[in-house]
A and B are shown apart, each in its own frame.
Chain A
Amino acid sequence: MKRSAFFWHMVLSSVIRRRARLLTALLAVGIGAAMLYGLAVLSYDVPKQMGREFRSYGANLIVAGDMKDDAIYLKILHLAPKDALVGAARMKLLPSRLREHPVTLTAADFDELRKTSPYWDVKGEYPAGDDEMLLGRSLASAFNLASGDRATLVGADGSEREFRISGIVQTGGREDELVFVRLQENSGYDIIECSLSLDLAGLERLAGEIRGLDPRLSPHIVKRLASSEAKVLGRLRYLVWIVSLVAAALTMVSVSTTMMASVAERRKEIGLRKALGASGRHVMTEFMAEAALLGLLGGALGVGAGQALAHYVSMSVFARGAGFQPVFALATVLAAVLVTIVACIRPVRRAAAVDPAVVLRGE
Chain B
Amino acid sequence: MALLELDGVSRVYEDLKALDGVSIAVEKGEWIAIMGPSGSGKSTLMNIVGCMDQPTGGRVLLDGRDISKVRGRELTEIRRSRIGLIFQQFHLIGYLNALENVMVAQYYHSMTDEKEAMAALERVGLAKRARHLPSQLSGGEQQRLCIARALINYPEIILADEPTGNLDGSNEEIVMELLHEMHRDGRTVIVVTHSPKVADHAQRVIVLEHGRLVDDRRNTERRE
Contact = CB atoms under 8 A, between A and B. Distances in A.
Contact of B112 (A3, A277, A282): A3
Contact of B52 (A10, A279, A360): A360
Contacts of A17: 94-95, 133
A275 interface: yes
Nearest to A274: B76
Counting contact residues on chain B (CB < 8 A from A), the size range is: 20 to 34
Nearest to B162: A362
A276 B95 contact: no
Interface in B85-134: 85, 87-89, 91, 93-96, 100, 103-105, 107-109, 111-112, 114, 133
A139 to B, nearest CB: 83
Contacts of A277: 76-77, 79-81, 105, 108-109
A271 to B, nearest CB: 8
B104 A10 contact: yes
Contacts of B81: 277
Given A13-B100, A14-B95, A359-B87, A6 B46 contact: no
B46 A279 contact: no
A39 B120 CA distance: 55
B161 interface: yes
Interface string A136-163: 0000000000000000000000000000
Nearest to B109: A277
Contacts of A360: 43, 46-47, 50, 52, 87, 161
A38 interface: no
Contact of B85 (A1, A14, A275): A275
A357 B52 contact: yes
Contacts of B87: 359-360
A360 B161 CA distance: 7
What's the dominant secondary structure at chain A's contact region? helix
Contacts of B94: 17, 269
B11 to A, nearest CB: 11
A269 B92 CA distance: 8
B69 interface: no
B172 interface: no
B73 interface: yes
B67 to A, nearest CB: 15
A356 B114 CA distance: 26
Given A277-B76, A360-B50, A3 B85 contact: no
Closest 9 CB pairs of A and B: A277-B80, A17-B95, A277-B108, A357-B52, A6-B112, A272-B91, A357-B47, A356-B52, A278-B108
Interface of A: 1-3, 6-7, 9-10, 13-14, 17-18, 268-269, 272-279, 282, 355-357, 359-362
